[in-house]
């Protein structure tokens, strides 16, 4: 089944000491970190399209433009929700949001690229071989 705009996804996480701004060095306070919110948004987008890809394919994040609108303390649940808004060849565009309870805590856009997993890894590993040869 081909990917089409309108496909939705979601992912959840509890705010713990491990995903706070203080722990992730993105701030000094024990509130949900922006990098953790970004990762949750990417997970929701990735997981939403993976069942529609061919065996051996995956997606990688290309860009993420987000606003972190409100703090979320340890103990709360955060839900990231995504909607596929455009498919342009191998490029997939998403609208992304994050909520803690009913409060919108983050929003933005995200782009992913469909890849062949083995070819992508081989290209990455070739960089090590090239660096060692120089």
Catalytic residue among 68, 72, 81, 110: 68
Catalytic residue among 34, 83, 85, 109: 34
Let me know if 103 is a catalytic residue: no
Q: Are 72 and 31 in contact (CB under 8 A)?
A: yes
Let me know if 110 is a catalytic residue: no
The set of residues, in sequence order, having a beta carbon less than 8 Å from that of 7 and lying 6+ positions away, is 48, 49, 52, 83, 84
Q: CA angle at residue 50 from 5 to 95, to 5 degrees?
A: 40
Let me know if 65 is a catalytic residue: no
**47 exposed, middle or buried (CB, 10 Å; 0-12, 13-18, 19+)?**
middle
Catalytic residue among 20, 42, 59, 82: 42
| Residues annotated catalytic, as ranges | 34, 42, 68
């Amino acid at each position: 089944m081909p990917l089409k705009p309108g496909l939705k996804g979601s992912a959840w996480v509890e705010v713990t000491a491990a995903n706070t701004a203080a722990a992730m060095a993105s701030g000094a306070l024990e509130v949900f970190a922006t990098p953790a919110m970004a990762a949750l948004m990417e997970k929701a987008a990735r997981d939403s399209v993976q069942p529609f890809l061919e065996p051996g394919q995956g997606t990688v994040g290309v860009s993420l433009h987000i606003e972190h609108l409100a703090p979320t303390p340890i103990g709360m649940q955060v839900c990231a929700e995504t909607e596929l808004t455009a498919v342009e060849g191998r490029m997939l565009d998403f609208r992304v949001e994050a909520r803690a309870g009913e409060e919108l805590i983050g929003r933005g856009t995200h782009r992913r690229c469909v890849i062949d997993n083995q070819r992508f890894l081989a290209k990455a590993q070739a960089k090590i071989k090239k660096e060692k040869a120089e």
